[in-house]
Amino acid sequence: MKCDVGSEQDILALFKAADGFGTLGALVNNAGIVGKSGVRVDEMSAERIQQMMAVNVTGSILCAREAVKRMSTKHGGKGGVIVNLSSVAAKLGAPNTYVDYAASKGAIDSFTVGLGYEVAGEGIRVAGIRPGLIDTDIHAAGGEPDRAHRLAHMVPMKRVGTADEIANAIVWLISDEASYVTSAILDVSGGR
């Protein structure tokens, strides 16, 4: 189902549609955007920053809100797992490139820890993945489709990661093998 996570109405419609498939056991907050690369903070428009936060932060919080309403034993749910996608940019700051994106992902890190504490006693685990340079189309959206490969030399493993490597970490966090993991963020970044 198509959903703009920058729109609360779209999020509500998504979860209403998902209710038709049965009990919700997991949510992966993976939606994220970047702005044009190479833009300093003193060049950023309010519109760019607001859109970044609406999708990357507010959208994730609203999706988690709806998931908690369905998963929490406090609300009659059976528990579940929420995995939030952050970025190594949250630690590095992304100066002269994506400071607003890095700030949005720093907010996701804080949200992951706080929500994890808040719902741990209600059968919900909350964890995060902090990807590094991954071979995806997100950099093309910022105007630099080859950015990840161009910067691969900065990664201790000397390569970019794959979407499958991120997906595998998410699957592990959702699985019972990670049953004692909550309010934790796993770097999947080749050491960066």
136-151 confidence digits (pLDDT tens): 887 777 777 788 888 8
Question: Where exactly are the structural domains of the chain?
Answer: 8-188
Residue 101 among the catalytic residues: yes
- Give me the mean pLDDT over the 89-116 stretch: 96
pTM: 0.95
Name the catalytic one among 98, 101, 117, 180.
Answer: 101
13-40 confidence digits (pLDDT tens): 999 999 999 999 999 999 899 988 889 9
The sign of the dihedral angle between the CA atoms of 169, 26, 66, 122 is negative
Report how far residue 192's alpha carbon sits from residue 189's, in angstroms, rounded to the nearest whole number: 5
Please classify residue 42 by burial: count the beta carbons closer than 10 Å to its beta carbon, then call 0-12 exposed, 13-18 middle and 19+ buried: exposed
- Give me the mean pLDDT over the 129-138 stretch: 90
The architecture CATH gives domain 8-188? 3-Layer(aba) Sandwich (3.40)
